[in-house]
Amino acid sequence: MKKPIAWIIDTTGFVTEEFKAHPDVYVVPLNIHFGTEEFIDDGVDLTNEDLYKRIKASTTFPKTSQPSAGKFAELYDQLKEEYECAIAVHASAKLSGTIASSTAGAEMSEFKVYTIDSLALSYGLSGLIERGLKLQEQGHSAEEIAQKLAKETGNFRNYILIGNLTQLYKGGRMSGAQYYLGSLLQIKPIVQLTPEGELQPIDKVRSHKKAIQYLINHAKKDHAEFGVKRFQIMHGNVLKEAENLKQEVLKEIPEADILIGDLSSSLAVHAGEGTIAFLWRKENF
C-alpha cells in the first residue's frame, strides 16, 4: 500500500532538523553560481561558511538558479512509486521560478502534486510544512490540507534588516536610487515580503538599535492582538546578533518561543552577511 503524502520543500526554506529526519519530507536544493562554478545548496557541496568566504574573495557576484523541471520530474518519478501524491511548498513565485519548475516536473512525471506558493521565503515555507504535517496527523486529506495551506499564506509576518545593500542591489532586488541613498545616508532599510510575495522596503532607520526596536514593536503588537508566541530569527552569519535579538524580545514577551536559524545559502547570496530576519505567523499554531 502506498503512503498518502510526500512533502517537498526547496532550499529557500529553512530546513529544520525535524525535516531532515522525517521520512516523508524531501528537500530540493537550488543552485549557486560563481561565474562558471556551480554548487548545490545542500549544506555539503557549499556550506554557509564557505559561501561567505567566497563572496568576500570573489570578484564575481554569485547568482542562484532554481532546479530544472527535469530534476523535479526525476524526484516525482521516484515518489509516485511510493506515495499517492505530494504537497510541495515553494518560495514566492515573484522571487523564484522554482514553483514553475516543480509544476512542470509534476506534469512530466504525471504525478499528482499540490504546489503551494508560500508567498514567502525561509521559515515562511517551513511553517506551512509544519502546519500541513499536523493537519495530516489529524486525518485531513491532501486536497483539504493544500486548500488550508493556500489560505494561510496571508498570515505570514516578516521584517528583514538587510546586511549588505550591495548584494541586494547587484542581485536586482533594490533600485539604484534606493542603494545610493541607503549607502550615502548610512540608512538601514527594513524590507518585507508583501502579502503578494514581493520584496519591498517598508521603512528605514538611522541606527541598528532603532531597527531592532522596530522589529520588537511589531512583534509585541501581534502578540497582544493575535496571541502570537512563536517567532523565528533567521540570520546571515551573525549568530551573536540573533541571540541578542532573542534576549531583547524575551524581555518584552517572556512567554515567547523563539527559534534561531541560519539563512540558507540561496538567500544569503542576495541578502548578504549580517542580515537579520524576524518572522512569525499571525495565527499561533
pLDDT along the chain (285 residues), means of 10: 96 93 96 88 80 81 91 98 98 94 98 97 95 97 97 92 64 46 57 86 81 94 95 94 96 97 86 89 68
pLDDT score, position 168: 54
Q: Which residues span the domain enclosing 22?
A: 3-154
Q: How far is CA 30 from CA 41, 46, 105, 223, in A?
A: 5, 11, 15, 34
For 53, other C-beta atoms within 10 Å of its C-beta total 11
Q: How far is CA 49 from CA 54, 60, 91, 203, 268, in A?
A: 9, 18, 23, 30, 11
- Looking at the structure, tell me whether residues 139 and 179 fall in a common domain: no
pLDDT score, position 70: 97
Number of domain units in the chain: 2
The bridge status of strand 156-161 relative to strand 83-90 is unpaired
CB crowding 17-51: b at 16 or more within 10 Å, else e:
eebeeeebbbbbbbbbebeeeebebbbeebebeeb
- Looking at the structure, tell me whether residues 112 and 174 fall in a common domain: no
pLDDT score, position 184: 39
- Looking at the structure, tell me whether residues 116 and 130 fall in a common domain: yes
Q: Structure pTM?
A: 0.89
- Looking at the structure, tell me whether residues 150 and 11 fall in a common domain: yes
Residue 274 contacts residue 213 (beta carbons within 8 Å): no
- Looking at the structure, tell me whether residues 265 and 201 fall in a common domain: yes
- Looking at the structure, tell me whether residues 145 and 22 fall in a common domain: yes
CA dist 215 and 208 (Å) reads 11
pLDDT score, position 134: 96
Please give the backbone phi and psi of residue 132, each rounded to the nearest 5 degrees, phi first.
-65, -40
